[in-house]
Amino acid sequence: MTVTLNIIEIGARGDGVAEENGQRYFVPFTLPGEIVEAEPRDKRGEGIVADLVEVLAPSRHREPAPCKHFTVCGGCALQHWRRDIYAGWKNELIARALTQRGVASPAFEPALAGLPKERRRADFVVRRQGRRAVAGFHERAGQQIVDVEECFVVTPKLAALLPSLRTVLAGILPEGGSADAIVNDTDAGLDVLVRPHKRFTLSLESNQKLVAFAESADLARLSWGDRATAEPLVTRRQPRLVFGDATLEPPPGAFLQATRRAEQAMREAVASWIGDARRVADLFAGIGTLTAGRPWRATLYESDKPSVAVVEASGRRLGGGKLTAVHRDLFRNPLMAAELDVFDAVVLDPPRAGAAAQSIELARSKVTWIVYGSCDPGSFARDAHTLQAGGYRLEKLVPIDQFLWSPHIELIALFTRAPLRSAKAKSEDAR
């Protein structure tokens, strides 16, 4: 049985939200102000997910989606929303998270808007079905794979790889077998890691097919296996990323910022905000995207051993102790305040969970500048509240949309120590 709903807002997952007779509904692919007919399907949290049947009264902000896979592919949720309105909503996600935590915030800096066809990193899923294979992304709220024929999110080089990827893995994967193909567009070309979901031994013939695929697709490198144990099958050009004075050779399947523009904007923000720093600690550093290759002496802390090895190698080439790496799990073993105090600035870019334990120690430290890159407004707001309670002030914040048409928003922010106030000033405030 269907229900008629008035969409009042867009929720954090990108679904339209409605309330009817005290019941909350989440309806994908709808917009605020629309009246829609929907069919209730599943309970989710405090509401019910409903499938869109028909838009009875469309929003004036609704636009035709460019991609034919939209509504089926799980990669995009908001292609139907006018871009300027969509961008404002993403800023609101950050502002709302800060308000809920009671974090005082300045006016945001101009946001870095996402653009079509600029994602240079993708995790494709490939599954053999009979004599052929399908390749693309998981469907929305399901495990089936959308066999992607076009994509308006990834770079043309990544999209163009899919047909040949299908062909080669159709002849290698066992029937019903599947694999992830992690593709990074590096400064030296495409770096591909094929990670089968179930281990099996590659035959000599399969190896030869993969080598031929790497040649025909002009890959820089092709590797096989899990990230921790991946073995390059062929390296035609060593994948590399150039950050200022530093050249890093990423391990197979390395984490990169999703777009080059975002990476550059974040690096420029860090350099502008802490340019006078001499010693910098980079926490949850990955391969040093935000701090490598700058004039300061940077110490990078990272739990991923292949990434640490990459930074160490780059540091040796640079010389002079400008770039060093330390293997450390900052979730289990955060840097203590006394360890942090030797640095002029701290840069951190943690996973979605944020850096709760590390933020407590940062709040106790005497570090002058803290630059926090975040991929989750909620965990960022929690950690910002901790820093604020410890005497830090949120000075600058730049929203960054690296994942176009998704409900995902990132940011980079600057915290500084609030100036110590005299007893006289405090007394005057009390009056």
Active site residues: 375
Let me know the angle formed at the C-alpha of 138 by 180 and 121, rounded to the nearest 5 degrees: 50
Neighbours of 53 (CB within 10 A): 14
* Contact of 62 with 80, CB cutoff 8 Å: yes
User: What radius of gyration, in Å, describes the C-alpha atoms of the chain?
Assistant: 24
What residues are paired with 10 via a beta bridge?
16
Residue type, 338: A
Query: Residue holding tokens 């993403």?
Result: 90
Q: Residue 353, SS3?
A: coil
Of the candidates 386, 391, 329, the residue with the CA atom closest to the CA atom of residue 366:
391
CA 350, CA 331: separation in Å to the nearest integer?
10
CA 257, CA 242: separation in Å to the nearest integer?
13
Provide CB contacts within 8 A for 406, sequence distance 6+: 14, 75, 76, 77, 78
Neighbours of 102 (CB within 10 A): 11
DSSP label of 143: S
Residue type, 365: S
Let me know the angle formed at the C-alpha of 233 by 227 and 238, rounded to the nearest 5 degrees: 80
